[in-house]
């Protein structure tokens, strides 16, 4: 069984080389997947991010 990595908003911003506020904008627009709330933390599944990027590039 494979465990999916959970990325912080800063991790996503670093991977995409964009500002963290733009990550939130892309989430609101539906370009990036909806994050998971863990208490006060916000995380995005790495596989969902990868799938969204693949769909965007096609």
pLDDT digits (tens, 9 = 90+) for 13-28: 999 999 999 999 999 9
pLDDT in tens, 1-58: 678 899 999 999 999 999 999 999 999 999 999 999 999 999 999 999 999 999 878 7
Q: What is the pLDDT of residue 1?
A: 60
User: Which residues neighbour 34 within 8 Å (Cβ) at sequence distance 6 or greater?
Assistant: 27
Q: Which pLDDT value is given to residue 8?
A: 97
The predicted model scores a pTM of: 0.88
d(CA 10, CA 26): 14
pLDDT computed for residue 47 by the predictor: 95
Report the chain's terminal Cα–Cα distance, integer Å: 29
- Closest by CA to 27, choosing from 58, 52, 4, is 52
């Amino acid at each position: 069984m494979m465990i999916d990595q959970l990325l912080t908003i800063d991790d996503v911003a670093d991977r995409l080389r964009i500002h963290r506020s733009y990550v939130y904008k892309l989430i609101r627009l539906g370009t990036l997947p909806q994050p998971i709330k863990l208490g006060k933390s916000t995380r995005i599944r790495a596989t969902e991010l990868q799938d969204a990027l693949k769909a965007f590039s096609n």
